[in-house]
Every structure is written in structure tokens, then in C-alpha cells.
Amino acid sequence: MTASRDIACRVRGFGAYTPVDVLTNFDLEKIVETTDEWITTRTGIKQRHRLAEGQNASDAAAEAARLALADAGMEPGEITHVINATCTPDYLCPNTACLIEAKLGIVGAMAFDFNAACSGYVYGLSMARAIVAAQPEARVLLTATEALTRRLNWADRSTCVLFGDGAGASVITADGEGALLEDVRCASDGNLGGLLTIGGGTSTPYAKGDPIGDDFFVQMNGRDVFKHAVRNMAAISQEVLERNGLTTDDVALLIPHQANLRIIEAVGDRLGIPTERVFVNLHEFGNTSAASVPLAIADARAKGVLRPGMRVLLATFGGGFTWGAALLHF
Ligand SMILES: CC(C)(COP(=O)(O)OP(=O)(O)OC[C@H]1O[C@@H](n2cnc3c(N)ncnc32)[C@H](O)[C@@H]1OP(=O)(O)O)[C@@H](O)C(=O)NCCC(=O)NCCS
């Protein structure tokens, strides 16, 4: 047990943004050999949002951040740290957090990106808690933003139908009103990283004029990822509940990473949480990676599914592999 578990950590504001442009399964039928029926039955996804030309992950994050700040009743100038989860940054350098900071008119905050793929938001909660534990006056803006559609191979039907763009944001402080972060636990296994990759990093020594290879885009062994996702999301959720002396009866709502409806149902089954207490919105947004959990939180609040007084269990899994779970008491 770390000392920071004894420090209060409040998630005070939530915001989310998805681009206007929507790609339905029927639109995808015109791009690759697929059907709405296949995508719906295998994944539950009906549509996903796509960033407009010239609109980037940092723009989506700034929109979500403005809403989160308004929700927290705070001004951008009060923020001391901008920590941004993404596996689809605008650039390798500068980091996307600095770009978000500039778009919000913040100068002087500590700003950095981190990549935990789809687990980014839960990893970010863990980091934000550590920051406010070390520095109780800190005002942390956590953003999670993805431009996945920019890194999809539109000729690979096994991956291009799964992902969408979007962003979510939260403001985290040691004090004040807001959801209490009761616990968070993050884990990883780098031995399995090759099962889900997005290239374009420096391990591929591209020279000017070289054609872009398939490695530049999302590549995935879907079946293996599926198995590990179910096993690890369920196990880490159970672990977090047990170490807090709780059972799933104490959880009002499970908000899982929105990758695939069958993964979500299998996790719910393993944990013994009935479907009416499991929040699902992937039919509207697809898998938005790091943005999926904060997008789901904001959506669940807007739809009145997530209400004050509820204890919420977050569960995530992503490339790396990374996974995590958190308990938020609203
Ligand atoms: C990707 C996924 C939906 C594929 O479902 P699946 O039931 O495992 O399907 P398979 O990969 O075994 O493919 C079955 C068949 O469907 C075909 N297929 C794949 N994508 C298709 C598509 N979009 N449309 C139509 N057919 C498709 C395959 O080519 C294969 O055909 P074949 O039997 O003739 O070779 C599933 O594995 C999955 O969701 N995995 C987890 C992925 C994920 O969420 N990752 C992110 C986690 S953070």
C-alpha cells in the first residue's frame, strides 16, 4: 500500500469531445469488404467519429479540457500540470500536452504526454494522484485524446472497423468537491506488446522518399488481444475491489474500456455484474483508445446513468499490454 492512498484525490471536472464527422458501418461497406451485420455482431460498434482535415488530437483534447474546466468551475490559469494520454500524438516532438496547454492559454505548467494506449486515462488517474500526494496544491488537467483514424489501414478490415477519434478530460486536485478516487491500480506486460502495434517510431529507419509500410498503421492479433483483455480487466478489477474490502455488490456502475461489446460482456460475466450496471456506448463511438473511459464517464453523466452517490468501477486494457482499474465515488 503506498502512502498516496491515504491522501484524498478528487476528480472534479469531466469533459469529452468527439468530432462532428461520423462514419457508419454502412459507410465502411463502401471502403472495405465488410458488412454492418458482421461489425455489429462481432463488436457492437455501429459508428465512429473522425477528426476533420486539419483537426488534430490536441484540438480534440483542448475542447474536452474546456468542458472539464467549466465543470470543475476552474480557469485554465489555475492548472499546474497538464498530463496527456495518447498513442496518436500530433508529433513525436513537441509533445501534445504542450500543444493543448497553448490552445488553452496556459503558460508555465508542467506538461507531458504518456502512452499507455487504451489504458491511458486510468494510468493518468494514478499519476495525477501521485502528483497531488506530493504537491497538495497541484491542479492537474488530465487529458486523453486519440486520432486513431489517422493510423488505420483502410485496406485491413480486421482493424479499420474498430477504432474512432475523440478526447476526454478531467481536473484532479487533492481537495474540493468531486468524485473521490478511492483506489487505482495499473499493470503491464511488455512481452505481449507485439500483438497490438502502431509503428512510425524510430525503430523503423524510414528514409526520405521511402513508401510507408503496413507497420505504420494499427496491426493486431484480435483473437489474442481479446483473451488477454477479458482476463486482465476482470482480474485487476477483482484485485482492486478485494484490497478495499468491497465486492461487486458495492459497485453501482462498471465503466469498462469500450473496445468490443463481447469483451465487455465477458468481463461483466466474470465479475458477476449484471448488464444493467455496465455502461456501454461503443455503438456510437467505436474504440477511442485512451479517450474511451473519460468519454464514457462524461456520456454516462450526460445521460443520467451516472449519478451523485454512485461508486463506479473503471476497467481498462490496451496495447503494451497495459491494463488497470480504478474506483471513483461520485
Ligand atoms: C477483431 C475481432 C472483432 C475479430 O473477431 P473474430 O471473431 O476474432 O474474427 P476473426 O479474426 O477470427 O475472423 C473471422 C473471419 O472474419 C473475417 N473478418 C475480419 N474482419 C472482418 C470484417 N470487418 N468484416 C467481415 N469479415 C471480417 C476474417 O477475415 C475471418 O475470415 P476467415 O474465417 O475467412 O479467415 C475480435 O477478435 C476482437 O474484437 N478482438 C479484440 C480487438 C480489440 O478490441 N482490440 C483493442 C483492445 S484495446
Distance (Å) from CA 42 to ligand 1 centroid: 7
**Residue 204: what pLDDT?**
87
**Nearest CA residue ID for atom 6, ligand 1:** 223
Q: With a threshold of 0.85, does the pTM exceed it?
A: yes
- Same fold for the domain at 3-178 and the one at 182-329? yes
- The CA–CA distances, whole Å, from 48 to 258, 284, 296 equal 12, 6, 14
Q: How many CB atoms lie within 10 A of CB 180?
A: 14
Long-range contacts, stretch 34-39, CB < 8 angstroms, 24+ apart: 34/157, 34/161, 39/161
Which H/E stretch holds residue 97?
helix 96-104
Distance (Å) from CA 26 to ligand 1 centroid: 17
**Residue 89: what pLDDT?**
98
pLDDT digits 0-9 by tens, 25-56: 999 999 999 999 999 999 999 999 999 999 99
Ligand 1 atom showing the smallest separation from residue 28 Cα: 23
pLDDT digits 0-9 by tens, 284-326: 999 999 999 999 999 999 999 999 999 999 999 999 999 999 9
Which residues surround ligand 1 with Cβ inside 6 Å? 34, 38-39, 42-43, 118, 157-158, 161-162, 220, 222-223, 225-226, 229, 259-260, 287, 317-318
Domain 3-178 sits in CATH at 3.40.47.10
Confidence label for 227 from pLDDT (cuts 50, 70 and 90): very high
State the DSSP string of 130-174.
HHHHH-TT--EEEEEEE-GGGG--TT-HHHHTTB--EEEEEEEES
> In the structure grid, which three cell numbers stand for residue 280, read together?
456501454
List the domain boundaries for the chain.
Answer: 3-178, 182-329
Active-site residue list: 118, 257, 287
At the top level of CATH, the class of 182-329 is alpha beta
Burial 90-118 (b: 16+ CB within 10 A, else e): beeeebbbbbbbebbebeebebebbbbbb
